[in-house]
Every structure is written in structure tokens, then in C-alpha cells.
Amino acid sequence: MKLGDLSVGYLYSLQTALRSLGHDPDPLLQRYRIDQRLLGSANARISIPRFMRLGHAAIRLSGRPGLGLLMGSHSLPQHFGLPGMAAACAATLHDAFSALVRFERLTSQNYRGHSSFDAPALRFYSISPYNAFNLFVVDSALASRAYLGWQLSGGQARLREVHIEFPAPDYAERHEQLFNCPVLFEQPHNQLIWDSASLQQPLPGSAPATHAELLRLCAEQLDELTRHKRLRERVEEIVSPRLHSRLPSLEETARQLGLPAWTLRRRLQREDHTRFQDIIDDTRRELALSYVRDTELALGEVAFLLGFSSPEAFQRAFRRWTGEPPGSYRKQRRTDLLGNIQKS
């Protein structure tokens, strides 16, 4: 179980944003082992931790803490892969956003959750707690979806409000300049609130037959992706986002999978030789390793995200898993990573 991954298409806007500021993105990408072959490979993906580290490095290079907003302003429908192209051919923005959200898993898989669309709100999932490594993710996600709406509507779509979970940063004035509407910070959700009439206006680029064909292709790819997932992976996707709150029971998880509880229990034993509780324990351990190794989250924040009663309880569990405290584990892995980068 990892934090997730996303299509290399999400890096195209980062390249363009850096070039617009006079920076060559290639040396930075090479530091993170991203070359033109990877960027041009069908279905190529990078891990979310690598994306976050790359974004943070790009902010340091450019000196622009609001770089995520600039990335969003350089986004194009094709950067969202096949779902983005389906959205570009939709009849209305409502249909475009519905397609983008329905097939998001084709280009982005995050254990924390997925986007949703409950008109007029287009919502990007929470990735709290926030730090210097992930503000740009929310900035770029909301800005890219706003620009998608404006591009597809020929500039006619209007936003009523933008809601952002984290407190107003030092560059908050850039948000209102970009979104051209009130931007409210410290809100319950990250979301774009569209003018309802904008969502129903016909799009100038609508192509109904092409839209239907692209939706069919998206559905086939999603079915193929889902069909090849083991039952254990599907259980992990349900359990992981709720580690920091009330975990779903075996019965609730089975219900989400459309299975009787006894069938889920039997199939886990038969297919993976495991129990439901083992999956919860293993998921917590693997996410703990990934958080400590791949992010800058404070250890207390990691403890909260994984549902531990206290940071001390997390420290004890981590030492049991690895034989060393999380601080030492993080320091050593960072030293190893730096050494590998210098050799490459």
C-alpha cells in the first residue's frame, strides 16, 4: 500500500510554468529521474511522494510559493488524459466535470480519496494536515479545474466562490487574482463553487459522438483496472482514508464491495491467506513507513493520520516495526536518497 500515484500528464503544466518563469525544467526533472522517455510513455505514472518532493523543489528553484496556481493556469484538457479529452467533447460543463470525476482513477490514485462533483461544487479531496510540501497540490488541482472550465466554455463560465481548507498563505492575494471571485480559507472542503447557469450552458467544442466514444473507452479502461485489482487492494482503498477517524467494520466494508460479510472473510482467507484486521494493521504500517520516508509531515501529524491514540503510541509501534525510532529512520533514508541523487 502506497500513498498513491498519478499520470505524468500532471507534470506537463509544471514544465510550462517553470519555462514561463525563465527556468529550464529538465535538470530538475532529471534529479528526480524523470526523462523525456518517461514523459512520453503511455500510462506512465509517478508516485505522489515524488510529485510532492518535485513540486517543493520547483518552488525553491523559482522562488514562487504560489507555483501551484501558475501550474493550474497552464493546464490543458489533454493533461488529464483520456478523461480530459472526454470532458473536452462534452455538451455542458456539468457533463464535462461528471466525466472527469467518474474516471479520475485512470490518471490519479490517492489513498486519501478522490474528487467529487455535487453541482455546483467541484470538490478536491482533503490532504490535510498541510505543510510546505502539499499546499501546491491543492493550488494546482483547483486552479487546473477552474482553467479547464474556462477553456471549455470559451471563457463564459463563472465561479461564485472558491473554498480552501488550509489557512491563508502569504501569497493569498494571488488566489483571488486568479479565480476572480471570493476565496475563503480554513473551510471544511477544497472546492470550486460554480455559477449553476454556467454548468448548463452548451460548450462550443461539444462533439456528442466523440464524447460517447471516449466515455466508452474510459469505462473499458476503468473496468480493466478494477478487474485486475486483488480483493485485498480493494479493501485497502476503503479502509485507508478512514484510518484517522472511525474505521469501517468488516460488515461495512463488505457492504461497499457488494458482498456478504462471510463471503468477504472467506475470500480474503482463500485468495490472500489474510484476515480483515491484518489488512488494517499492514496498511497502517506501510503508510507509516511511506509518510516518514517520503514526506515532511511532523511525527505527531503522522500519528494522527494513522489513528494512533498519541504520538508516543505511534513511536512505540514504529520501533516495533523497524527496530528504530521514526526520526532516525527518516534521517537515514534522506541520507540514502541524497547519495543516490548525487550518483545519478
Condensed to tens digits (0 to 9), the pLDDT of residues 132-191 reads 778 999 999 999 999 999 999 999 999 999 999 999 999 999 999 999 999 999 999 999
Q: Based on the domain organization, do 124 and 212 belong to the same domain?
A: yes
**Residue 251 placed within a domain:** yes
pLDDT-based confidence at residue 337 (cuts at 50, 70, 90) = low
**Residue 209 placed within a domain:** yes
Q: Which domain holds residue 245?
A: 231-343
Q: Based on the domain organization, do 242 and 180 belong to the same domain?
A: no
Q: At residue 79, does pLDDT exceed 80?
A: yes
φ, ψ for residue 155 (rounded to 5)? 80, 10
Q: At residue 25, does pLDDT exceed 90?
A: yes
Q: Based on the domain organization, do 147 and 279 belong to the same domain?
A: no
Q: Based on the domain organization, do 164 and 104 belong to the same domain?
A: yes
Low-confidence winner among 88-102, 118-132, 177-191 (lowest mean pLDDT): 118-132
Q: Based on the domain organization, do 106 and 160 belong to the same domain?
A: yes
- Among the candidates 193, 223, 253, a domain finishes at 223
Q: At residue 30, does pLDDT exceed 80?
A: yes
**Residue 99 placed within a domain:** yes
Q: Based on the domain organization, do 204 and 292 belong to the same domain?
A: no
What's the pLDDT at 228?
67
What's the pLDDT at 114?
87
Q: What is the mean pLDDT of the chain?
A: 90
- Judge whether 195 and 159 are in contact, CB under 8 Å: yes
Q: What residue has cell string 510529485?
A: 51
5-23 average pLDDT score: 96
Q: Based on the domain organization, do 196 and 323 belong to the same domain?
A: no
114-128 average pLDDT score: 92
Q: Based on the domain organization, do 138 and 208 belong to the same domain?
A: yes
What's the pLDDT at 232?
87
- Among the candidates 206, 223, 240, a domain finishes at 223
- Judge whether 118 and 124 are in contact, CB under 8 Å: no
What's the rounded Cα separation, in Å, for the pair 200 and 152?
12
**Residue 295 placed within a domain:** yes
Low-confidence winner among 108-122, 172-186, 231-245 (lowest mean pLDDT): 231-245
What's the rounded Cα separation, in Å, for the pair 67 and 18?
9
Q: Based on the domain organization, do 195 and 238 belong to the same domain?
A: no
**Residue 61 placed within a domain:** no
**The CATH number of the domain where 247 resides is what?**
1.10.10.60
- Judge whether 72 and 146 are in contact, CB under 8 Å: yes
Q: Which is nearest to 89 in space by CA: 213, 200, 207, 204?
A: 207
What's the pLDDT at 1?
46
Q: Based on the domain organization, do 213 and 240 belong to the same domain?
A: no
- Judge whether 209 and 217 are in contact, CB under 8 Å: no
Q: Based on the domain organization, do 239 and 198 belong to the same domain?
A: no
Strand order in the sheet with 183-184: 116-118, 121-124, 190-194, 159-163, 183-184
Top-confidence residue, 341 or 233: 233
Q: At residue 239, does pLDDT exceed 70?
A: yes
21-34 average pLDDT score: 94
**Residue 311 placed within a domain:** yes
What's the pLDDT at 344?
42
Low-confidence winner among 109-118, 156-165, 253-262 (lowest mean pLDDT): 109-118
**Residue 162 placed within a domain:** yes
- Among the candidates 194, 223, 252, a domain finishes at 223
Q: Based on the domain organization, do 94 and 238 belong to the same domain?
A: no
36-60 average pLDDT score: 90
Overall number of domains in the chain: 2
What's the pLDDT at 272?
80
